[in-house]
Amino acid sequence: MFDNPLLFFICSLGVFNGFLVSVYFLLINKTNRVPNFLFGLLVLFLTVRIGKSVYTVFTPREERNLLVIQIGLSACFLIGVSLYFYLKSSVEKTKKISLKWKLHFLLLLMVITIIGVIKPYAVDTLFWNTYFVKFIYLVWGIYVVLSSFILKDVFRKFFSKKDVCNTAEVWLIAVFCSNLLIYLAYIVGYFYFYFVGTVTFSLVFYGLVLLFISKKNRESIFRDLPEKYSAKKIKNNEADLLKLQLDSLMKEQELYKDTAIKLSDISTEIGVSPHKLSQFLNDNLGKSFAFFLNEYRVNEAKRLLRENHKITLESIGFEAGFSSKSNFYATFKKVVGKTPAQYQKQFLTG
């Protein structure tokens, strides 16, 4: 048993906040969006499991209620499947939970309920701690692996040099990685230091809150991922003309230098719909709108780095249209393969 008030406060606050988040998405949120509901379930089961850990760690052994421990372990059995279906519904933009999904959940719920009735933790603690807990973690781990396959295209996009993930996709990666960390922490804790899972949950929960906290992110995270326009390329003649118009517009008006420029602004300038421009960028050029802009910004930055050796690298980034120093450095390195300083160094005379 631990007796550290600060650790108890941090972990208990994480559990309390997690419970509030789950209540919001399950009972208060009125969007009727399937991924939001499943996210609420995921947070609820995680919160119950972590709450059990906090209870176990900070309660003397002789005072522990074994039913609370059983409920916490039972919730753990449903974390993996909740993660899997949350990610699957987000990627596939599911509008309604299918009967197949409901039966999937029901089967797992029946398994954990039947085991809990036949062999309650209070009566057969040895069975739970020796065998069944390992089975629970195995099932959780299997769903974590399956979840990684759901996000394979998102991960490919995240590590690609030609594309940039949107906020909703970054959020899905963050949720998956957070769950993976919590799972690994519990595996480590099972063999070595039990408390590590509880601390990890609190840390990743607050990390996700920081990602969620800005208004722009809140508006994007719990919204459907952008539609893909697969197999809908614009015909070559029209695409070539559109490419010339775009290139001319970007070079003459230097619209990429405006950090607030939107796809709709550019589509208006060249007289096409935002949908068509997005289709052209995604399918004909194989680029996201952000990457399309960043290519012009990087080229402008390269010109400035070659010709202006007396102004700071940060100033060059802002002049080229990047919104921040970190964004400039990361994007430049991703596109060019060198940092701005490394690129400029080859043009400096000794």
- Closest Cα to residue 85, out of 73, 103, 101? 101
Burial readout 209-232 (b: 16 or more C-beta within 10 A, e: otherwise)? eebeeeeebeebbbbbbeeebeee
Position 217 pLDDT exceeds 60 = no
Could you say which DSSP state residue 257 is in? Answer: G
Please state the length of the chain. Answer: 350
The per-residue pLDDT for range 313-324, each reduced to its tens digit, is 889 989 999 988
Q: How many angstroms separate the CA atoms of 251 and 222, rounded?
A: 36
Q: How many angstroms separate the CA atoms of 264 and 51, rounded?
A: 47
Single-letter code of the amino acid located at 170: V
Tokens of 2: 């631990």
* Cα–Cα separations (whole angstroms), residue 348 to 107, 290, 299, 301: 67, 31, 18, 15
CA dihedral 291, 295, 301, 303 (to 10 degrees): 180
Position 48 pLDDT exceeds 80 = yes
Comparison of pLDDT for 80 and 1, the residue scoring more? 80
The per-residue pLDDT for range 2-25, each reduced to its tens digit, is 566 776 776 677 778 778 888 888
H or E element that contains 237: helix 236-253
| pLDDT band at 230; cut points 50, 70, 90 | very low
Does residue 45 contact residue 78 with C-beta atoms inside 8 Å?
yes
Half-sphere exposure of 249 toward its Cβ, with a 13 Å CA cutoff? 16
Q: How many angstroms separate the CA atoms of 25 and 53, rounded?
A: 23
How many helices (DSSP H) and strands (DSSP E) are in the chain? 18, 0
Highest-pLDDT range among 48-52, 153-157, 314-318: 314-318
Does residue 296 contact residue 321 with C-beta atoms inside 8 Å?
yes
Out of 205-219, 302-316, 320-334, which region has the weakest mean confidence (pLDDT)? 205-219
Single-letter code of the amino acid located at 120: P
* Chain Cα centroid distance, residue 197: 20
Q: What pLDDT, on a 0 to 100 scale, did the predictor assign at position 227?
A: 52
Does residue 155 contact residue 163 with C-beta atoms inside 8 Å?
no
Does residue 285 contact residue 326 with C-beta atoms inside 8 Å?
no
